Amino acid sequence: MKTVIINAIVVTMDSESRVFDRGYVAFENGRIEEAGPMEALEQNPEWKGLSLKEQEVIDAEGGILMPGMVNLHSHMGMVPFRGLGDDCKDRLRVFLLPMEQKAMDSELTYLSTRFAAAEMLLGGVTTVLDMYYFEEEAARAMDEMGLRGIAGETIMEEPTCDSPSPKEALKYAEKLMERYQNHSRIHCCAAPHGTSTCSEETLKAAHRLNQKYNAPFTLHTAEMDYEMAYFREKYRMTPAAFLDSIGVLDERTLAAHCIHMTEEDIKLFAARGAKAAHCIGSNAKAAKGVSPVSRMLKEGVTVGLGTDGPASGNTLDIITQMKLCADFHKNATKDRSAFPAKSIVELATIKGAEALGLDGLIGSIETGKRADLVLLETKSVNMFPVYEPYSALVYSASPSNVDTVYVNGVCTVRNKKLVSWDLQELKSELAAKMNQTEFGKIKQF
């Protein structure tokens, strides 16, 4: 059945940056068929002749209809860590690594990813690149929840909670990539943890594997002070230069964080076609610094937004990241006109899609693309008045304004609630599992 959303402020994010103040979008079988002003629809005799039995008509009542948002970097299985040691200086070694070894298993990953997917959908995220352990379960959870996602199996030199060695982790990743290579929404990749936590051989092997399956090559890059010192002292290079020296910095590379990028690094990324996932909320909370995104964009580097994990940035929606991105970069550049709202929405949608090589399918509202759509209501107190929709999305909106979400033409959120899942049941099942692990020993309010 055809679905038509009418009376919406349609923010297309297409190449012409078209906005229809009073517009519509029609889609069927998961694909967008047309979009335009309501006047064109109302004058169309075919539209007038169709009955309600032949189409579903949704009145947006002046809400903002935009492409589904893209989360380029997350660790969805980390939901149980949210709020744990938030202000601890060495949270990684004190909380995260020990608890992962003691408590994380396939079931906890599945239940956590399911809950994280619910949070993302309710916040308007329709596509995510995940990086964690037991990604077979993460892929299953994302598929069941109706999300579009890439499940990235973490590869490390040290033994992890799901693999005793990088070779085993690579084997695990390849089996997963084979299984999902023809799926309509879910794909997989081998995700080396970072530049300093994987050997040169492991990085090359992961890159070859992702090349074989046409998957992104993603890893943490230029994030930590000690990472920068390590490469400076051992190789007299930056992490970016090291990746290039071993042949794994190319158009497939999606580097997360990129906080400590030099001018030479940025030019290298531009020359090689490498992309960056900007996680401003996580970076700022950890006091790591502000990534030179404005310089990257000026050099032509594709940049999108990521939340990082719920243990790092706490929230998994991109709307929060948009406002943080605008505020932090304006402050860092001392320029109120820097990063106009439209450019921030681009990072959240079409640029995120480009970073994943999916811009031919998603990221904008255009005929032939997949119907990944988000409708934000404008009736709430924080959304009045709307003079300029980009500004409303970046500076006024919150995840609570997300009313309706479609992924691949399937409605996953309606009237601010999950369509096929009960949020409290998802939460209860996750909480019960957590109580059976080390997390159950930690006091919760």
- The CATH number covering residue 62 comes to 2.30.40.10
- Tell me the pLDDT band of 50, cut-offs 50, 70 and 90: low
**CA torsion, ordered 117, 123, 126, 128, to nearest 10 deg:** -60
Q: What are phi and psi of 323, to 5 degrees?
A: -70, -40
Query: Residue 293: which CATH number?
Result: 3.20.20.140
Tell me whether residue 424 is in a domain: no
Tell me whether residue 28 is in a domain: yes
Same-domain pairing of 245 and 315: yes
Same-domain pairing of 287 and 411: no
Q: Which residues are 437's β-sheet partners?
A: none
Please calculate the CA angle 201-204-206 and round it to the nearest 5 degrees.
110
d(CA 208, CA 212): 6
Coil, strand, or helix at residue 291?
coil
Tally the C-alpha atoms within 13 A of residue 76's C-alpha that lie toward its C-beta.
39
Same-domain pairing of 249 and 339: yes
Same-domain pairing of 279 and 391: no
Tally the C-alpha atoms within 13 A of residue 373's C-alpha that lie toward its C-beta.
35
Question: 109-124, pLDDT tens digit by residue?
Answer: 999 999 999 999 999 9
Question: 189-209, pLDDT tens digit by residue?
Answer: 999 999 999 999 999 999 999
With a pLDDT cut of 70, the percent of the chain lying above it is 99
d(CA 328, CA 394): 13
Same-domain pairing of 393 and 254: no
Model confidence, pTM: 0.97
| Type of residue numbered 82 | R
Same-domain pairing of 114 and 211: yes
Contact by Cβ (8 Å): 363, 347: no
The domain tally of the chain equals 2
The per-residue pLDDT for 45 is 76
Contact by Cβ (8 Å): 272, 251: yes
Contact by Cβ (8 Å): 258, 218: no
- Tell me the pLDDT band of 49, cut-offs 50, 70 and 90: low
- Tell me the pLDDT band of 52, cut-offs 50, 70 and 90: low
Peptide bond into 164 cis (omega under 30): no
Same-domain pairing of 79 and 56: no
Contact by Cβ (8 Å): 95, 88: yes
CA-CA-CA-CA torsion sign (124, 304, 26, 381): positive
Q: Is the pLDDT of residue 341 over 70?
A: yes
Coil, strand, or helix at residue 74?
strand
Tell me whether residue 442 is in a domain: no
Question: 237-261, pLDDT tens digit by residue?
Answer: 999 999 999 999 999 999 999 999 9
Same-domain pairing of 262 and 319: yes
Tell me whether residue 432 is in a domain: no
Q: Which residues are 57's β-sheet partners?
A: 4
Q: What is the DSSP string of 363-407?
A: SS--TTSB--EEEE-S-SGGG---S-HHHIIIII--GGGEEEEEE
**CA torsion, ordered 403, 14, 294, 68, to nearest 10 deg:** 30
Contact by Cβ (8 Å): 27, 6: no
From 126, 139, 44, select the one nearest 409 (Cα to Cα).
126
Tell me whether residue 269 is in a domain: yes
Structure token pair of residue 276: 């960056």
Same-domain pairing of 248 and 261: yes
Structure token pair of residue 216: 């992104």
Same-domain pairing of 248 and 389: no
d(CA 395, CA 383): 10
Tell me whether residue 151 is in a domain: yes
Burial 286-305 (b: 16+ CB within 10 A, else e): bebebbbbbbbbeeebbbbb
From 218, 288, 213, select the one nearest 249 (Cα to Cα).
218
What is the residue range of 26's domain?
2-67+371-418
Mean pLDDT to the nearest integer, 298-307: 98
d(CA 414, CA 402): 9
Question: 359-378, pLDDT tens digit by residue?
Answer: 999 999 999 999 999 999 99
Q: Is the pLDDT of residue 151 over 80?
A: yes
Same-domain pairing of 292 and 345: yes
Tell me whether residue 230 is in a domain: yes
From 175, 247, 251, 258, select the one nearest 219 (Cα to Cα).
258
- Of 331, 355, 379, the residue at which a domain comes to its end is 355
Same-domain pairing of 140 and 176: yes
With a pLDDT cut of 90, the percent of the chain lying above it is 86
Tell me whether residue 434 is in a domain: no
